[in-house]
Amino acid sequence: MTHDAAARLAAIVDSSDDAIYSTTVDGTITSWNRAAERMFGWPAVAAIGRHASLIVPPERRGEDDDVLARVRRGDVVEHLETVRLTKHSELIDVSLSIAPMRDGAGQIVGVSSIARDVSERRRLDEARAHLAAVVESADEVILSKNLEGTITSWNRSAERVFGWSAAEAIGRHITLIVPDERHAEEEQVLARIRGGEHVGSVETMRMTKDRRLVDVAMSVSPVRDSLGHVVGASIMARDITERRHFDETRARLAAIVESSEDVIVSKNLDGIITSWNRAAERMFGWTAAEAVGQPIMLIIPADRRAEEEGVLARIRRGEHIAHFDTVRRTKGGGLVEVSVTVSPVRDSTGRIVGASKIARDITERRRIEEERKQLLTRERLARETAEAANRSKDEFLAVVSHELRTPLNSVFGWARMLQSVEMDAASRERAVAAIVRGAAAQVRLVEDLLDVSRMATGNLRIDLQRLDLREVVDAALETVRPAAAAKAIEIATHVEGAPVTVLGAADRLQQVLWNLLINAVKFTPRQGRVYVGLRRAADDAELTVSDSGEGIAAEVLPHIFERFRQEDSSSTRAHAGLGLGLALVRHVVEAHGGSVRAESPGKGKGATFVVRLPLAAAPGAAT
C-alpha cells in the first residue's frame, strides 16, 4: 500500500461515525479512532496498549473470548449485537463486526473491530414492540392503510369486530369494510388525510364480513415517513352499537319519565335531589332548576322527616319500598297525599349510589275511598234502620194482635154468656157494660191506627179555631180522673188564671193531653203523683205533664216519639198499648206550629213532657 493510500485510509477511519479499533491476536489495543473515544470515553493515548477487555463487561468476557478464537481461526463475525462498557461504567448496546488482520504472507497478526451504537435503535425497537403489543391488545379497532386505501395493518379487535382475519384483510382495499352508501365519505376522509389533516370523532357505520352493519366512532390520523411526508393513515375505531342502544334506551326512558303523569325524582344517598320531572313540577310547584341540587327535605313536612330518614336507611341496605302512603309539601306550603314507591339506584359495579322515587297523588283516591266508606256506612245504617223497622213492624203486629184480642175476648165471652145463660138483671147489666168497654177500647185502637195512617199520608185533618187551652185541660182531666182514682194517684194542677188562647183543634189538642195523661197514670205506681201545668211563656202557651212513675232510660229517650216505639214491646210487657200515642202527640203538636220534648232523670225517677204552642193573636190585631 502506498503512503498516500495509507494516509487516505487513516483519514477515513478517523472521521468515521462508527468506533473502529484494532488489537493484536492476544487482545492488546493497537489503534483507536475518534468515534471510539466518543463512544467509550477513553482517549486513544489511554486505550492503546491496554487489553480490549477494558471495554468488555465481566459477564460478557466469555462471549468475547469465543469471538476472538473464531477470528484467530480466520472467521469474520458480522453484526454481533452485544453490550460494551464505557469509561464511566455505563453499558451501551452495540453491533460489532470483527475481522482478522493479515500480513503480507497471509498470516493473522491482529483483529479489526467496528462498533456501532445501537442503543437508540434498540429503544426504538422496544418502543415499536411495545406499541405493537398495545395495538394488538387494544379493545379499539386499530388499522392502517396507505394513500391508495390499501390496508397495511389490522389488529385483533379489527378481527373481532369485522370478522376478517389480519391475513384476509391486509392487502385488501379499505372499502372491504365500508358500506356502498359510505364510499363517498371514505374518499373525503382520504382527501383530508392527504392534506395532512386529523379527522377526529366521526360517528359512522362500517360493514362486517357477514355484511352486518356496525355503529362506530372513528378517528383518522395521517402517517408520515422520516421526512414528514404523508404516506398513509392510521384508523382507530370503537364499536358504539351498544352505546347507541344504551343512548336510545336512555332517551326513550327519559322521554317516558318526562311525560309520565306520576312524579319521578331521584336523589343521592345524602338526600340531594338529582332529577325532577315535569309531573314533579306540577305537583310540588318547584321547577327542575329550583329543585335539583336541593335536599329532598324540600318537600318533606317537618313531622315526616324521621320517616324519610328511615326510607334512606332502607335504601342504603338495598331494599325496595313499594306503595306506602304519606304526605308531601308543596312550594305554596300545602300538603298533598301521595303513594310513594322507592327503589335503590346502582352504578355499573352494583354499588348503591342513590334512590329513584315514583309518587302518585292519591287525594282523589282518598276522596273516593272516603265517599265509599260513607256510602257503606249509610248503607249499613239504612239496612240496620230497615231491619229495625221490620222488627218494629213485627213487634207492632204482635202488639196489635194482643191489644185487639184482649177486649175482643171479653166482648165475645160476655156476649156468649148473654146468649146461652139465664142471667139476672144485675148480671146482664154488668155484661152489657163489659161489652161496651171492650168495644170502646177497640174503637180507640182502630182510631189510633187510622190517625197514624192519616199522619203518614199527610191526611190527618186539623180544623183550627180560637180556643182556651184551660178548657182542653179540664176536659182531659175529667176523662182521666177515674183511671187515676182507681190507682189512688194524686193529680196536681197549676193552670193560668187568665185565658190561654191558641189557634187549634180542640179534639186533637185534647187527644194530645189525654195521651200524655193516660201514659202518666199508666206508668205511675199506685199512690203516685201526676202534675199538670199550663202557663204563658213569652209568645207561647206551655203545657207540662210530669209524673213520679217509672221514668225513661237514657238510651230510649231520643226515640220516645217514634212510631211503634215502646221501651218494652214484648207480649209479656206490664203495660198495654200500641206505642202510637207519643208519635201522634208530636205530629199533632207540630201541625199546630208547636213543639214537644221529653225529659227524665232516669229509670224510676219519673218523666216530664213539655208542649209549647204559639199563642193566638188578639182579635183585630195586625198580622
Q: Is 29 helix (H, G, I), strand (E, B) or coil?
A: strand
Model confidence at 576, pLDDT cuts 50, 70, 90, reads: very low
- CB of 80 closer than 8 Å to CB of 56: no
The CATH class of the 461-614 domain is alpha beta
φ, ψ for residue 304 (rounded to 5)? -115, 5
Query: What are the pLDDT digits (tens) for 324-342?
Result: 889 999 999 999 999 999 9
Query: What are the pLDDT digits (tens) for 474-528?
Result: 988 988 888 889 899 999 999 998 999 999 988 889 888 988 998 899 899 999 9
Model confidence at 398, pLDDT cuts 50, 70, 90, reads: low
**CATH annotation of 3-118:** 3.30.450.20
φ, ψ for residue 84 (rounded to 5)? -125, 165
Residue 549 has pLDDT above 60, yes or no: yes
For the segment 588-606, the average pLDDT, to the nearest whole number, is: 91
- CB of 455 closer than 8 Å to CB of 587: yes
Nearest to 115 by CA among 18, 16, 42, 38: 18
The radius of gyration of the chain's CA atoms, rounded to the nearest angstrom, is 63
User: Which amino acid appears at position 79 of this protein?
Assistant: H
CA 34 – CA 50 distance, rounded (Å): 17
Determine the pLDDT at residue 432.
Answer: 82
Q: Which CATH architecture has domain 367-444?
A: Orthogonal Bundle (1.10)
Provide the mean pLDDT of the chain: 86
CATH fold group of domain 138-244: Beta-Lactamase (3.30.450)
For the segment 615-621, the average pLDDT, to the nearest whole number, is: 76
Determine the pLDDT at residue 128.
Answer: 77
Domains 138-244 and 261-361 share a fold: yes
Residue 601 has pLDDT above 50, yes or no: yes
CA 62 – CA 57 distance, rounded (Å): 10
CA atoms within 13 A on the CB side of 506: 13
Q: Which CATH architecture has domain 261-361?
A: 2-Layer Sandwich (3.30)
Model confidence at 222, pLDDT cuts 50, 70, 90, reads: very high
φ, ψ for residue 75 (rounded to 5)? -75, 150
- CB of 504 closer than 8 Å to CB of 590: no
Question: What residues does each domain of the chain span?
Answer: 3-118, 138-244, 261-361, 367-444, 461-614
Model confidence at 126, pLDDT cuts 50, 70, 90, reads: confident
Residue 623 has pLDDT above 50, yes or no: no
Determine the pLDDT at residue 154.
Answer: 93
Determine the pLDDT at residue 386.
Answer: 80
Alpha-carbon distance values, 589 to 325, 592, 611 (Å): 54, 5, 7
